[in-house]
Structure 1
Amino acid sequence: MLKNFWYALEFAEKVTRKPIRVTCLGQDFVLYRGESGAPVCLSDLCVHRGGSLAMGSLVGDRIACPYHGWQYNPDGACVKIPANAEERGIPRKARVDSYPAVERYGMVWAFLGDLPEDERPPIPVIPEHDDPTFRAVHFEMELNANYERTFENVVDASHTPFVHGTSFGNPDKPEIPPFEIRSDDWSAEADIFLSPPPPKGLWGLLAKRKPRPEYVTVTNGWYLPNVVKLHVRLPIGDMLLYDFNIPITQDRTMVKIIGYRNFFTGGWADENARKRIEKILVQDRPVVEAQRPELLPFDLADELHVRSDALQVAYRRRRAQLIAQGWWVGGDDIITTEGPRRNATVIASPTRRDHPELASAWVHKARNGGKPDESARRAQ
């Protein structure tokens, strides 16, 4: 799992003045909106006795822990301890990690890492979101698979005739013609020619009035750390799916999808669009969940690649570079305890750079001295 990136954690309409818990990179976070409406993202773990802030309530811009009422500002600093007399100060170590958060493209994003603002990778651009000719629907599904497996699945054009059959691919013409990749440091995409199946259902009604093309152009792309795009140019218009593959843990992924279309743009067609997205995921799900090894290999040579795998290979090469830079969630991000929940992830926030003298405020030592166990070492 990669840190030091902006992660889309939740659909914007679900983030309100009522705190909610979300999980990403193995860590729990609390999301809510301040009085101005701006999103706030904090570590869900109260520094006092480990209460869940997501179970708490808001007092203005502050969030109050449900256990002892400690109140935290959006910057993570505790500003009130109800059990203390007024003349007693707040311990300087009384703070939680606060992560930069923004709302964009119908999602709430948080920067999960400690890089300074001018060193952070960009949030991917989704131009269709502000285009009035497109209508969007949302869909989500949890998969028991690693997020990199679900991520690569979407940019893998050659699986469509076999996994999706005549609903999306054409088993009679599975060949993938050569394609060129357009890439930069944070993304890669390609225009791929696929033989389409005959359109069915509601979408087929209009398509029958137009000649069926021999090939359709499908643009597949990935955007670090976990976003993939599928752009299908149909005879009746354009359909684009942006998949946010949120790593809950190493082996569980929440896939949140924004689907855009510039045809049948009335609300009456939304449910049909969601059902088509769901059908694609339901077909992919058993195949991806059964992949072995469950985690993507670190060595490019550990799996066999062919020409049609070029987008996946491009991702794995860039991933290897970022791992070498220390952007992989590893032993330094793992808290080890001897309790029922043995391992937990804690991603350092920019707040730690702002207050280096308080580094020990975030140190949780286990009985074994705080050293990562063997599973944590293997995760590096």
Structure 2
Amino acid sequence: MYINFWYPAAWSEQLGDRPRRVRMLGQDFVLFRDSDGRARCLADTCIHRGGSLAGGKLVGDCVQCPYHGWEFAGDGRCRRIPSLGPQAKIPRRARVDAYPVAERYGIVFAFLGDLPENERPPIMEIPEYGQPGWRVTRQERFAECDYRRQLENALDPAHNEFVHPTHGFSGERDDYRVPPLNIERSTWGSGFLTTYFAPPLKDERMKSASGRDENAVIEAGTHHFGPCALTTRIHPTPEVFIHQHVFKVPVSESEVRTFLVQTRNFLLEPEHDSRFLERNEIVAGQDAEVLADLHPFFTPETNAHEFLVPADQAVLAYREKLAEWQARGWRIDARALAARGRREAFAIPSPARREQPRGWVLDSVPLLPAATAAEQGAAAAG
């Protein structure tokens, strides 16, 4: 799991007049809206005696701890300690971590990290969102799975013919082969766009809408953005597009929540949404069934423990990006966290910690050490 990225915390409509607890990166957070309707995200643990702020209530612009009534504003600072009396001066150390929040595509995103604003990676874009001629559907799914396994599955062009028989594709053809991939790389991700042999669509309405009623070669591909977001583009014809924009958040090392925003430029009437939603559930279920039986449960820490082939190029590119972010010191030390997490409370480091490193009650989550400049140079040299 990695800090310093934007993660989907909730759908916008899920934030109402009560605090909401969410678990991300193995830590608990509280989400709420202040009196101006602005979404806020704080570390959930009250620094007084460990109460859950999400179990409390909203008082003005603050969330009130249910244990002793301490009130914390959206910037993380404590505004009231009832036991000290109404005239008490609140100590500077009475604060919890507060995280930047942005709302896009109907999702509340929280930036879980300490980078200053000008250094943060952006939220993955959906260029067609809200544009005329596009229909949007949304879905959410929870799974007991290593999020990396899910990302790598999406970046794998060789599994569709075997895992998704509902696509109609087949890996049993005598001429079946995955063509060489042209891996496209960017600052925050990588991916590919390739072609697939596709038989006629079975759904008559979709067949009619796509204008394809015979065997064809379709264009499709997936690009990841950061460790947990990706876009899959499926183009049944040069004019018919389905785009799946996926935002994932690791609940823990072994659990992941997925927010899917799917866009399409055909069958735009709402009555057609159900067939796309149902199809997505079927495909996700097929993937989940296979991923549940992978061994080991977690993606191996070294490529030497798998026999990789050219069709795995996009998976390798994803792993290279993860290694790059680990070298920056952004990867949570999951083993240390698991060993100490029941006895100690931690917080994901927030931007305020970088500005003021001293005077925090809770320690930051343990992170794997960043690579030295020499180590990074050696890695870049191959």
TM-score, normalising length: structure 2? 0.88
Cα 1:356–1:332 change in 2 (3 A) is: farther
- Partner deviation per Cα, 1:179-208 (whole Å, 9 max, x = no partner): 212211201121111112432236445258
Cα 1:210–1:320 change in 2 (3 A) is: closer
Cα 1:207–1:88 change in 2 (3 A) is: closer
CA distance in 1, matches of 2:80, 2:255: 37
Matching of residue 88 in structure 1 with residue 88 in structure 2: yes
Q: Which residue of 2 aligns with 1:129?
A: 129
Matching of residue 212 in structure 1 with residue 214 in structure 2: yes
Q: Which residue of 2 aligns with 1:46?
A: 46
Matching of residue 328 in structure 1 with residue 335 in structure 2: no
Matching of residue 241 in structure 1 with residue 267 in structure 2: no
- Partner deviation per Cα, 1:95-144 (whole Å, 9 max, x = no partner): 11101111112211111111122221222111121322211111122111
- Within the candidate set 279, 289, 292, 1:289 is matched to 292
- Partner deviation per Cα, 1:257-314 (whole Å, 9 max, x = no partner): 1111111111112222211110110110011121111112222322222111111100
CA distance in 2, matches of 1:342, 1:212: 62
Aligned residue type for 2:317: A
Q: Identity, % of aligned pairs?
A: 36
Matching of residue 308 in structure 1 with residue 316 in structure 2: no
Cα contact 1:183–1:189 (8 A) shared by 2: yes
- Partner deviation per Cα, 1:211-253 (whole Å, 9 max, x = no partner): 4342100021111020121111124721111122211111111
Cα contact 2:210–2:236 (8 A) shared by 1: no
Consecutive unaligned residues in structure 2, runs of 5 or more: 372-382
**Equivalent residues in 2 for 1:35-184 (5 A)?**
35-167=35-167, 169-173=169-173, 174-184=176-186
Deviates more, 1:112-121 or 1:72-81: 112-121
Cα 1:134–1:344 change in 2 (3 A) is: farther
Question: Partner of 1:141: helix, strand, or coil?
Answer: strand
Cα contact 2:70–2:80 (8 A) shared by 1: yes
Matching of residue 353 in structure 1 with residue 351 in structure 2: no
Cα 1:43–1:123 change in 2 (3 A) is: same
CA distance in 2, matches of 1:162, 1:363: 46
Cα contact 1:11–1:107 (8 A) shared by 2: yes
CA distance in 1, matches of 2:215, 2:37: 47
Cα 1:50–1:114 change in 2 (3 A) is: same
Give the Å deviation of 1:51: 1.6
Question: Partner of 1:157: helix, strand, or coil?
Answer: coil
Question: Partner of 1:272: helix, strand, or coil?
Answer: helix
CA distance in 2, matches of 1:335, 1:350: 24
Aligned residue type for 1:181: I
Cα contact 2:210–2:240 (8 A) shared by 1: no
Matching of residue 318 in structure 1 with residue 321 in structure 2: yes
- Within the candidate set 250, 254, 258, 2:257 is matched to 254
CA distance in 2, matches of 1:313, 1:169: 25
Aligned length: 366
Consecutive unaligned residues in structure 1, runs of 5 or more: 365-369
Aligned residue type for 1:9: A
Cα contact 2:4–2:330 (8 A) shared by 1: yes
Aligned-CA RMSD value: 2.5
Cα contact 2:346–2:362 (8 A) shared by 1: no
CA distance in 2, matches of 1:71, 1:202: 58
Aligned residue type for 2:125: V
Aligned residue type for 1:352: R
Cα contact 1:47–1:94 (8 A) shared by 2: yes
Q: Which residue of 1 aligns with 2:32?
A: 32
CA distance in 1, matches of 2:121, 2:336: 20
Cα 1:181–1:331 change in 2 (3 A) is: closer
- Partner deviation per Cα, 1:73-94 (whole Å, 9 max, x = no partner): 1010000112221232223221
Q: Which residue of 1 aligns with 2:376?
A: none
- Within the candidate set 219, 223, 226, 1:224 is matched to 226
CA distance in 1, matches of 2:2, 2:283: 26
Give the Å deviation of 1:344: 6.1
